[in-house]
């Protein structure tokens, strides 16, 4: 018998580590680790508890159980190995620096106690280090990585183990903990249902329609035309091989335009894996700007401005809509993430780490590599980042991606009933006009044109230009 230690792979189907353990009879285990929980947040812990409940129910259907332990896994896992007389432990790799350091400790504790450890690649189609430059280095630029990722053959999903290959365990009497037991408040946002069933439903809905128009609609803020599976991939409630196989199947009978859309979607899956390998190769990026400038970036970090951004009251309608979507749904449309990220790091010159931390604390789909990679992209500090002199114009972004202001009105009720043209010209109205059309909505807190100039000159100073 071998323990399968579930971490960010809360599913039974298409789970490579679990399949490996099941070849010798798998004992499924989850550990509530205080060190991981201290970095948790209500939306993510709520989603995780729901996923664990469904995972446990699935194991019980299969006449086994999800065994739950508490504490430092370097102690808890060897104890379970001894208690159940297991030969060893299998787990799926996590790629962040902190996880890797923890895993080394756990592995040492298990092998010291005489057990064996097998670590398996599962969370991505192509593990970090598998797609490299011709001299074997990890890619720092997406375009070549993306082309290779798209071209390379993908493994098929692995089947769910059958009941006979899982350890027979009497269902535990103890219920899973509640959010409150773990010290978390109820999330303010509505959290989507977790587990493989809901993840498959979301994927299925997307693959039955929107995927064929993904290329045209993915940047349209009002259209909810994207897959909405980021939390499922972050917690591993669905396997990436299963997702990819389903996506490829949509090519059957697709016309040229539809096939191009499917390819555009596959490219986004490649971005996820690109950022996974960027962080794996540069674990210090989690707190450090990837790009080294000769001088520090002179961030403004104004508290009042940061609060206005966080609370969605900057007076830039599309920025406020994005930040309020985050508050209501623990999720933000990708285009809005780019807009609010650029606004924070360029217009407000707030350190990208503050944005990253706020997203980490509020998103249900927080994934260290994607959150970090994307923040460093918008802040022009990342590997393959937006050039520092290209500063998003939030008014133009609103006009281009929400022309009817439908998305804005959905999340900013103070602007309900205000026509799109007025909303997109909000920065140009005089105070009397603003007071008349939407008295409760604030005036813009900054002048975009001058803040844009300031951001560019701040980055030029950091780059040592004009000294
Ligand atoms: C500042 C910022 C922070 C972000 N933080 C996160 C995060 O913490 N977790 C996260 O999963 N995504 C993050 N993203 C990427 C992206 O916004 C979300 O993955 C996407 O909005 C999720 O919605 P979806 O599942 O409908 O995406 P779809 O458009 O349907 O894409 C499908 C999947 O592809 C992957 N993907 C899509 N875009 C990206 C991207 N730019 N980078 C990496 N992977 C991508 C995701 O796994 C996504 O679920 C961030 C983007 C920005 C600009």
Distance (Å, whole) CA 392 – CA 382 = 17
Residue 104 per-residue DSSP state: H
Please tell me whether the overall predicted TM-score, pTM, comes out greater than 0.95 for this model. yes
Residue 386's pLDDT is: 85
Residue 466's pLDDT is: 67
Residue 292's pLDDT is: 86
Distance of CA 299 from the midpoint of ligand 1 (Å):
26
Supply 66's token pair: 């999800």
Residue 98's pLDDT is: 94
Residue 172's pLDDT is: 82
CATH architecture, domain 2-122: 3-Layer(aba) Sandwich (3.40)
Question: For 361-404, how does the pLDDT look when each residue is reduced to its tens digit (9 = 90+)?
Answer: 999 999 999 999 999 999 999 988 788 989 999 999 999 999 99
- The response to whether residue 211 sits with its C-beta less than 6 Å from ligand 1 reads no
Half-sphere exposure of residue 209: CA atoms within 13 angstroms, side-chain side: 7
The count of residues in the chain is 467
Q: Hey, CA dihedral for 413, 205, 121, 69, is it positive or negative?
A: positive
Domain residue ranges in the chain: 2-122, 196-281, 303-462
Distance of CA 47 from the midpoint of ligand 1 (Å):
17
Which residue puts its alpha carbon closest to atom 49 of ligand 1?
Answer: 230
Sheet with 2-6, strands from edge to edge, namely: 67-70, 26-32, 2-6, 88-92, 116-120
Show contacts of 340-343: CB within 8 Å, 24+ apart. Answer: 340/309, 341/374, 341/375, 341/378, 341/379, 342/378, 342/386, 342/391, 342/392, 342/394, 343/309, 343/314, 343/316, 343/319, 343/392, 343/394
Distance (Å, whole) CA 10 – CA 18 = 10
Residue 385's pLDDT is: 78
Place of tokens 């430092």: 72
- CATH number for region 196-281: 1.25.40.80
271 among annotated binding-site residues:
yes
- The response to whether residue 367 sits with its C-beta less than 6 Å from ligand 1 reads yes
Residues 51/52/58/63 CA torsion (nearest 10 deg)? 180
299 among annotated binding-site residues:
no
- CATH number for region 303-462: 1.10.579.10
- The response to whether residue 314 sits with its C-beta less than 6 Å from ligand 1 reads no
Residue 284's pLDDT is: 96
Residue 338 alpha carbon, nearest atom of ligand 1: 53
- The response to whether residue 366 sits with its C-beta less than 6 Å from ligand 1 reads yes
Do residues 26 and 18 make contact, with C-beta atoms less than 8 angstroms apart?
yes
Distance of CA 172 from the midpoint of ligand 1 (Å):
37
Q: Hey, CA dihedral for 177, 180, 184, 190, is it positive or negative?
A: positive
Do residues 34 and 148 make contact, with C-beta atoms less than 8 angstroms apart?
no
269 among annotated binding-site residues:
yes
Supply 168's token pair: 């027979």
Place of tokens 């439908």: 406
Class of residue 296 by CB neighbours under 10 A (exposed 0-12, middle 13-18, buried 19+):
exposed
Residue 467's pLDDT is: 64
Class of residue 302 by CB neighbours under 10 A (exposed 0-12, middle 13-18, buried 19+):
middle
Residue 355 alpha carbon, nearest atom of ligand 1: 1
Do residues 334 and 417 make contact, with C-beta atoms less than 8 angstroms apart?
no
275 among annotated binding-site residues:
yes
Q: Strand 2-6 and strand 26-32: pairing? A: parallel
- The response to whether residue 374 sits with its C-beta less than 6 Å from ligand 1 reads yes
Residues 342/348/351/354 CA torsion (nearest 10 deg)? -80
Distance of CA 440 from the midpoint of ligand 1 (Å):
32
Distance of CA 331 from the midpoint of ligand 1 (Å):
10
Splitting the chain (467 residues) into consecutive groups of 10 residues, what average pLDDT does each group show? Answer: 98 98 98 96 98 98 96 98 97 97 98 97 98 95 96 98 94 91 97 98 98 98 97 98 98 97 98 98 96 94 98 98 98 98 98 98 98 97 88 97 98 97 97 97 98 97 85
Do residues 238 and 14 make contact, with C-beta atoms less than 8 angstroms apart?
yes
Closest CA to 353 of 375, 332, 370: 375
């Amino acid at each position: 018998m071998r323990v399968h230690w579930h971490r960010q792979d809360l599913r039974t189907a298409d789970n490579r580590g679990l399949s490996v353990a099941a070849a010798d009879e798998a004992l499924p285990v989850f550990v509530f680790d205080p060190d991981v929980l201290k970095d948790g947040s209500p939306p993510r812990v709520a989603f995780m508890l729901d996923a664990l409940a469904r995972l446990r129910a699935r194991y019980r259907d299969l006449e086994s159980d999800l065994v739950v332990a508490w504490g430092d896994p370097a102690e808890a896992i060897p104890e379970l190995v001894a208690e159940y007389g297991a030969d060893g432990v299998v787990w799926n790799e996590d790629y962040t620096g902190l996880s890797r350091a923890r895993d080394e400790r756990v592995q040492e504790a298990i092998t010291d106690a005489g057990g064996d450890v097998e670590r398996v690649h599962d969370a991505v189609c192509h593990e970090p280090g598998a797609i490299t430059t011709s001299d074997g280095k990890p890619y720092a630029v997406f375009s070549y990585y993306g082309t290779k990722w798209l071209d390379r053959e993908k493994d098929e999903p692995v089947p769910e183990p059958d009941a006979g290959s899982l350890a027979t365990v009497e269902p535990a009497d103890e219920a899973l903990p509640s959010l409150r037991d773990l010290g978390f408040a109820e999330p303010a946002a509505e959290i989507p249902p977790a587990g493989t069933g809901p993840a498959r439903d979301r994927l299925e809905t997307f693959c039955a329609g929107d995927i064929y128009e993904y290329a045209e609609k993915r940047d349209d803020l009002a259209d909810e035309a994207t897959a909405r599976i980021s939390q499922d991939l972050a917690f591993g409630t669905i396997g990436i091989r299963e997702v990819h196989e389903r996506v490829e199947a949509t090519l059957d009978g697709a016309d040229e335009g539809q096939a191009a859309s499917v390819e555009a979607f596959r490219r986004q899956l490649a971005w996820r894996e690109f950022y996974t390998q960027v962080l794996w190769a540069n674990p210090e990026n989690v707190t450090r700007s990837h790009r080294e400038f000769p001088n520090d970036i002179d961030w403004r970090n104004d508290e009042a401005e940061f609060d206005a951004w966080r609370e969605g009251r900057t007076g830039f309608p599309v920025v406020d809509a994005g930040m309020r979507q985050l508050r209501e749904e623990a999720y933000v449309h990708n285009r809005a993430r780019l807009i609010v990220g650029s606004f924070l790091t360029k217009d407000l010159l707030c350190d990208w780490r503050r944005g990253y931390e706020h997203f980490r604390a509020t998103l249900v789909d927080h994934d260290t590599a994607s959150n970090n990679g994307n923040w460093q992209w918008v802040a022009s500090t990342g590997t393959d980042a937006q050039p520092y002199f290209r500063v998003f114009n939030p008014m133009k972004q609103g006009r281009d991606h929400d022309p009817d202001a439908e998305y804005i009105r959905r999340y900013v009720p103070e602007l309900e009933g205000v026509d799109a043209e007025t909303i997109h010209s909000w920065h140009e109205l005089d105070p009397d006009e603003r007071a008349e059309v939407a008295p409760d909505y604030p005036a813009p807190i900054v002048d975009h044109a001058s803040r844009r100039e300031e951001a560019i000159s701040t980055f030029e100073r950091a780059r040592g230009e004009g000294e």
